[in-house]
Amino acid sequence: MKKLDWFILKKFLSTFFFAIVLFTIIAIVIDLSEKTDNFVKSGLSFMGIVSGYYYGFIPYIMALLFPLFVFISVIFFTSKMANNTEIIPILASGVSYNRWLRPYIIGGTFLAFILWVSNQTLIPHANKIRSDFEARYVDRDNSYEQLTANTNTSIYFKVDSFTYAGIISYDTMYKRGSTFFMQHIAENKVTINTRAENIYWDTVSKKWVLENVLVRTFHPLNETVTILPRKIENFAFKPQDLTRDKFTKDKLTSKELARFIKLQEERGSEGINDLKVELYRRDATCITVFLLTIIGAIVAGRKIRGGSGSHLAMGFITAAAFIITDRFSTIFATKGNLPPFIAAWIPNAIFFFVALYLHKKAPK
């Protein structure tokens, strides 16, 4: 890398981190003013609120606005370079246009990689902290009551290709159900029928424990009955697989989300497209960061009448168009028949051609 690369890259990263940190502080102040009553009612200390909520809120808000602030940062500092007549001498000295874009490509790739790594594990963990707090103290009458206070929830699901199960009155908070039944089917006939008065998750052994178990094994001419006071089972499903939570897709890591989607498909559950769009978007958003970096550099790299104001206006219009495209594709996937993978990548595909067109028309 040459001095030119370090010069542009330093401006790029410093502008971006300054902008996103500044806006995050503003977002915290606004959020604090809205949730002051909830914080007081929770009875938590200052550090309890910080560790129990803002440790999750800060990464969440940063990830939410990450692509937008990459775009705005690129437009802002590149526009200043253009207005100060710094870009024209660079190109006039023999540096090609693509060579001038190299530090933007490096910076965009670096930030896209940071976002991708964060989307896999860090952001889901942060969303779990934030959503658990909101469910317990902010949205108590809805999410928290549904998750913890409602013990009349019945769950029916498919364990594997030949086994079906159900849990009556399952409590997601304590990971316990009052009645459990499971049927193994072979050749369209029930071969094993298992029932238990209680089922709960053992946090030490990481297995399910059945209490007062009755196992009926059916043979062609008779049956065998086995009664056990306690039985430990290593089922394929985990407590999080039984959770009915509107934040589920946000709290699971990418690996856990992929496993959860596969499990829901085996059960024949509805609303899986929403989960798939979230999974695919975690990768697509990283490419979005790269594309918006290139588009921002091309748009703001030309000195025009109106200066930075015109560049920022064009940037906001482009960002708004991207968000609208993203929202429409998501709706068509979750409410219609558009494949989730296509829905997640449609905005990137469109703006890829926008970037090519702008690059072709840019004065070099």
Can you state the angle between helices 272-300 and 55-83, rounded to 10 degrees?
A: 30
Average per-residue pLDDT for the chain: 84
* Mean pLDDT in residue range 153-181: 80
At a CB cut-off of 8 Å and minimum separation 6, what does 98 contact? none
Question: What's the one-letter identity of residue 142?
Answer: N
Of 169-178, 272-281, 310-319, minimum mean pLDDT range: 310-319
pLDDT more than 90, % of the chain? 25
How high is the pLDDT of residue 270?
A: 65
Q: Which residues pair with 200 in a beta bridge?
A: 176, 209
Determine the Cα–Cα distance for residues 241 and 202; give it in Å rounded to an integer: 15
| Alpha carbon 117 to its chain's center | 12
* Whether the predicted pLDDT of 141 surpasses 60: no
* Whether the predicted pLDDT of 177 surpasses 60: yes
Query: What tokens does 260 get?
Result: 């959860």
Three-state SS annotation for the chain: CCHHHHHHHHHHHHHHHHHHHHHHHHHHHHHHHHHHHHHHHHCCCHHHHHHHHHHHHHHHHHHHHHHHHHHHHHHHHHHHHHHCCCHHHHHHCCCCHHHHHHHHHHHHHHHHHHHHHHHHHHHHHHHHHHHHHHHHHHCHHHHHHHHHHCCCCCEEEEEECCEEEEEEEEECCCCEEEEEEEEEEECCEEEEEEEEEEEEEECCCCEEEEEEEEEEEECCCCEEEEEEEEEEECCCCCHHHHCCCCCHHHHCCHHHHHHHHHHHHHHCCCCHHHHHHHHHHHHHHHHHHHHHHHHHHHHHCCCCCCHHHHHHHHHHHHHHHHHHHHHHHHHHHHHCCCCHHHHHHHHHHHHHHHHHHHHHHCCC
* Whether the predicted pLDDT of 115 surpasses 90: yes
120, 29 Cβ separation under 8 angstroms? no
How high is the pLDDT of residue 308?
A: 63
How high is the pLDDT of residue 143?
A: 44
274, 260 Cβ separation under 8 angstroms? no
Q: φ and ψ at 259, to 5 degrees?
A: -65, -40
How high is the pLDDT of residue 148?
A: 43
How high is the pLDDT of residue 150?
A: 43
* Whether the predicted pLDDT of 175 surpasses 70: yes
Query: What tokens does 142 get?
Result: 């809805």
Of 179 and 315, which is predicted with more confidence? 179
Determine the Cα–Cα distance for residues 262 and 259; give it in Å rounded to an integer: 5
How high is the pLDDT of residue 314?
A: 75
Q: pLDDT band at 149, cuts 50/70/90?
A: very low
How high is the pLDDT of residue 146?
A: 45
How high is the pLDDT of residue 268?
A: 66
How high is the pLDDT of residue 116?
A: 94
133, 60 Cβ separation under 8 angstroms? no
Determine the Cα–Cα distance for residues 176 and 199; give it in Å rounded to an integer: 6
Q: What count of other Cβ atoms lies within 10 Å of the Cβ of residue 286?
A: 23
Determine the Cα–Cα distance for residues 340 and 356; give it in Å rounded to an integer: 25
How high is the pLDDT of residue 307?
A: 61
How high is the pLDDT of residue 107?
A: 92
* Mean pLDDT in residue range 265-280: 79
* Mean pLDDT in residue range 236-243: 76
Determine the Cα–Cα distance for residues 148 and 141; give it in Å rounded to an integer: 11
Of 268 and 193, which is predicted with more confidence? 193
How high is the pLDDT of residue 246?
A: 65
How high is the pLDDT of residue 275?
A: 86
* Mean pLDDT in residue range 117-142: 82
* Whether the predicted pLDDT of 6 surpasses 50: yes
Q: pLDDT band at 152, cuts 50/70/90?
A: very low
* Mean pLDDT in residue range 339-362: 88
Q: pLDDT band at 287, cuts 50/70/90?
A: very high
Of 303 and 98, which is predicted with more confidence? 98
How high is the pLDDT of residue 259?
A: 84
How high is the pLDDT of residue 147?
A: 43
Of 2 and 210, which is predicted with more confidence? 210
* Mean pLDDT in residue range 121-143: 79
Sheet holding 189-202, edge to edge: 155-160, 163-171, 176-186, 189-202, 207-218, 223-233
In 3D space, the residue among 341, 344, 222 whose CA is nearest the CA of residue 281 turns out to be 344
Tens digits of per-residue pLDDT, 81-110?
888 888 888 888 888 888 888 999 999 999
What residues does each domain of the chain span? 3-141+272-361, 154-237
* Whether the predicted pLDDT of 111 surpasses 90: yes
Of 341 and 138, which is predicted with more confidence? 341
* Whether the predicted pLDDT of 233 surpasses 90: no
pTM of the entire structure?
0.74
